[in-house]
Amino acid sequence: MKIEERRSTHVYRQKRMFTKEELEERESLCVHEQPAYCNAACPLKLDVKALAAALAAGDFDKALALYEKITPFPHILSTGCEAPCESSCKLGQLGEGIAIRELERAALAYGAKPKGASLLRKKQQSAAIFGADLFSLFLAGELVKKRYPVSFYCSQKDGLSLVKDCAPWLSQEAAEATAGLLNELDIAFKWGCEPEAAYWEDREKYALIAAAWDTARTLYPGLETDEAVMVCREQRLITGSTRGVLDSAFGAKRAALSADRLAQHLDPGNTRGEEGSVATRLYTSLEGVKPSKRIPVKDMDSAMAEAARCIQCHCDECIKGCAYLRHYKKFPRILTREIYNNVSIIMGDHMMNKPINACALCGQCSVLCPNGYDMAEVCHIARQNMVSTGKMPLAPHEFALMDMLFSNGEAFLSRKQPGFKKCSYVFFPGCQAAAIAPATVRAAYLDLCRRLDGGVALMLGCCGAIGDWAGRYELYGETVDFLGKELGELGSPEIIAGCPSCKKQLLSQGRESVRGIWEILEELGLPETAELRQRPMALHDACGARGDAKTQESIRRIAAKLGCEIRDTPYSGDQSPCCGYGGLTQYTNREVAREMTESCLERSPLPYLSYCMACRDRFAREGRESLHLLELVYGAAADNCPDISAKRYNRLGLKQQLLKELWGEELKMEDLGFEVEYTPEAEERMDDRMILRSDVIQVLQHLRESGEAVLEEDSGLFVTRERLGNVTFWVKYSETEKGYLVHSAYSHRMTVVNRL
Amino acid sequence: MADKNYYTVDPEGKLMCMKCRCKLQKGKAKFMYLDNGFPVELPVCPRCGFVYVPEELALGKVLSVEKALEDK
């Protein structure tokens, strides 16, 4: 198995991730952008959330501006509206919903009217409205908003009597305020006229004609109105019924839109968009929300307090749990669309490569989302797609992939238990367990050999998850075949996995029988080595055990037997987040990986108990006391934050030790013939730059063969280099009696050649 | 027409090739990555042609160009 950089930025290949239908189906699962319940119920589409937020912040002017957006006559609407928003308020499920009309009235009472004229150009076509009722009054306001010159024919003598006739419930103050508004509007009132007579006389003067309900019926007995558009098509007359305040206001809005269409000589039913109240699919959790009662709105303070009760309904279940989504501040719907576009573009910058490769592929979102949105699947498909078209850079994943090849190459070991021709089991501890806790793995294997009948083989290697996570499906396929062949040579025994992710991965490969070591330990009982801990610990469930209740329960029972007082944290069990190792985030995006680890640790101040070695290691690196369950079971500690080189030496060392101890085989380590030492700065830089000690040694071996080096006069250090695979490594060193002292190491992926 | 160089590093006589025992000189070199070439001037041994890439260059400009190309 080999990894080669075969990309070229000059090769343009593209493959769609999803069909359009599949993309839309996935996107539709995300309800984040669905309207809030109150907003969805309002046919006028009042943005109640924004109104409440403005009021809660004391911005009454903004609140009024929001309210005036939906109606020309806020006094009439705020006092007469039937308010379906209030009965839809989510808070009503717990206690009392928000008093939305009270808030509207507070905005009117304390907010200043926005200044400035409409940006719309005055229309050429003029409109006339004959007869007064609530509908025709609202329509006049709506048409003025659209900048039509409006003439209003009515029998009333003045604005105040008109308002009082149309909205008799208004207080004197509100009626006067509305009449004042009417005077400010660009309406030519024809007071004290007979609307029906005026209609026959003047209708030809106007491009658009509208009439109050009763007037229209008088003019045309038996008149039929298309209620969807509020137009009597035959007469080209705009009219509508007045069944209630909200119905009149909404009818006027629909009628005004019809006026637009008629003015453009279009069918009034043409491209109207979504009108009226809608059904919303929003999900809003009421967890942690306390029931509360309405606060009577008497002044600005009480209005602000009532508005502050609004919980601003929205769905962010995924973001609350996932550090990755929080980092990119994007909801799955928009993220999916951007990833889809990223994969689809042929030329240009692929801006979403980083987010595609930063997801831990842990699947937490699919559990947290009320509709099961699976962002991990989207990112995984995108990675495979980009690998297939040659658009996936190798750089972010190469170190991890090389690590997998190392686990299944140099460090790989597959042996039957000494003395057994056939084994009933094979212990598969996983690459991270061998890398981080070789002593624990050794103790576990010896214990299984001692207490299980039928022989226990050992397989030290990688389950292939790394190749799968990287989207390198060819390499993964080769790994699956390789493991299949090796397991076949052992007689295909039952696999005892040491890691929940390995268990999941091996099962997905169709391996017949895979159990976790924890299940075996429950059957056998704890060994004598078990260390009892009478102390509280926070249990972190491995993301590899998501959906595996059997494993989660088994771990809790074993922890209890060990005396641990297990404290479940928020987001435990199936909801558990990834520690930052999964999906190769640790390699592709250290910043996001760190945020993931911190997010795990924020959940409890206690020491953490985990059952995945990668989790254990990442928590320890953040300075938290961190233990793997098997460390307690076997009283054998893991290494404390081994660096990338130590993780390799641990795997090799374990192989060497067990080969000698159990199978009497000597694994000779290559004698270099020279010694290499490192300054502390060099060690730190190498770990940070993902440069292995074995890389440095190969460069120095090349130096000894070629003699190629440069002396830096300023520092007095020598510098040499060698190309290893896809990377050129440079080593800065000084010579010592027995070999070299490495002061620094760096690398680049570009090749550099002479140019004549 | 003068050669286009994306980057120039002058050794200023402070680098010595240990194989050839001579000073490195400013010479023509080319970085290649993912089928893209970038002509540069770097310290080069006039005899064996060893091209020296300083640490700051590798971790700075070279790395940023690599990343930009990887996302093309």
- Residues B47-63 pLDDT 10s: 999 999 999 999 999 99
- CB pair distance less than 8 Å for A395 and B66: yes
- How far apart are the CA of A691 and the nearest CA of chain B, in angstroms? 13
For tokens 């719907």, the residue is A333
A414 φ, ψ (degrees, to nearest 5): -140, 115
Rg (CA), chain A: 37
Any bridge partners for residue A718, and if so which?
A: A711, A733
Tokens linked to A54: 């403005």
CATH 3.30.2310 occupies which residues in chain A? 675-748
Task: Just give the CATH number of A675-748.
Answer: 3.30.2310
- CATH 3.50.50.60 positions along chain A are 127-263
Res B2: pLDDT: 57
DSSP string, chain B: -PPP-S-B---TT-EEETTTTEE-EEEEEEEEETTEEEEEEEEE-TTT-PBP--HHHIIIIIHHHHHHHHT-
Residue type, A370: P
Instruction: Give dist(CA A26, CA A373) in Å, integer.
Output: 7
Tell me the shortest Cα–Cα distance from B3 to chain A, in angstroms: 11
Q: CB-based contact (8 Å) between A9 and chain B?
A: yes
Q: Which residue of A has its CA nearest to B14?
A: A713
Chain-centroid distance of CA A598 in Å reads 17
Counting as low any pLDDT under 50, the low residues of chain A are: none
CB contact at 8 A, A195 and A215 = yes
A754 and chain B: CB distance < 8 Å anywhere? yes
In chain A, which residues have their Cβ closer than 8 Å to the Cβ of B31? 750-752
Residues 6+ apart with CB under 8 A from A216: A131, A223, A225, A232, A237, A239
Cβ–Cβ gap A353/B71 under 8 Å: yes
Residue of B nearest to A705 (CA): B19
A10: which chain B residues are within 8 Å (Cβ-Cβ)?
35-36
* Residue A226 DSSP code: B
Domain ranges (residues) in chain B = 16-70
Q: What is the pLDDT of residue A582?
A: 96
Rounded distance between C-alpha atoms, residue A348 and residue A340, angstroms: 15
Decide if the complex's ipTM is over 0.85: yes
Judge whether A625 is closer than 8 Å to chain B, CB to CB: no
% of chain B beyond a pLDDT of 70: 96
pLDDT score of A348: 84
What pLDDT shows up at residue A1? 64
Segment holding A211, helix H or strand E = strand A208-211
Provide the CATH topology of domain A127-263: FAD/NAD(P)-binding domain (3.50.50)
- Residue A585 tokens read as 């985030």
Instruction: Give the count of Cβ contacts less than 8 A between chain A and B.
Output: 111
Per-residue confidence (pLDDT) for residue B1, from 0 to 100:
47
The per-residue DSSP string of A55-114 comes to HHTT-HHHHHHHHHHH-S-HHHHHHH---HHHHH-GGGGTSPPP-HHHHHHHHHHHPPPP
Q: What is the pLDDT of residue A319?
A: 96
What is the model's pLDDT at position A216? 93
What are the angstrom distances between the C-alpha of B38 and each of A323, B8, B42? 38, 11, 12
CB interface of A with B, residues 347-376, below 8 Å: 347-351, 353-354
CB A581 within 8 A of CB A615: yes
**A302: Cα within 13 Å, side-chain hemisphere:** 12
| Predicted pLDDT at A532 | 83
Give CA–CA dist A723/A241, Å, rounded. 83
Over chain B, what is the mean pLDDT?
93
Q: Count the Cβ atoms, other than its own, within 10 Å of residue A643.
A: 16
* Secondary structure class of A260 (helix, strand, coil): helix
A511: tokens are: 């391996």
From chain B, the residues in CB contact with A705 under 8 A are none
Sequence length of chain B is 72
Q: Do A753 and B30 touch (CB under 8 A)?
A: yes
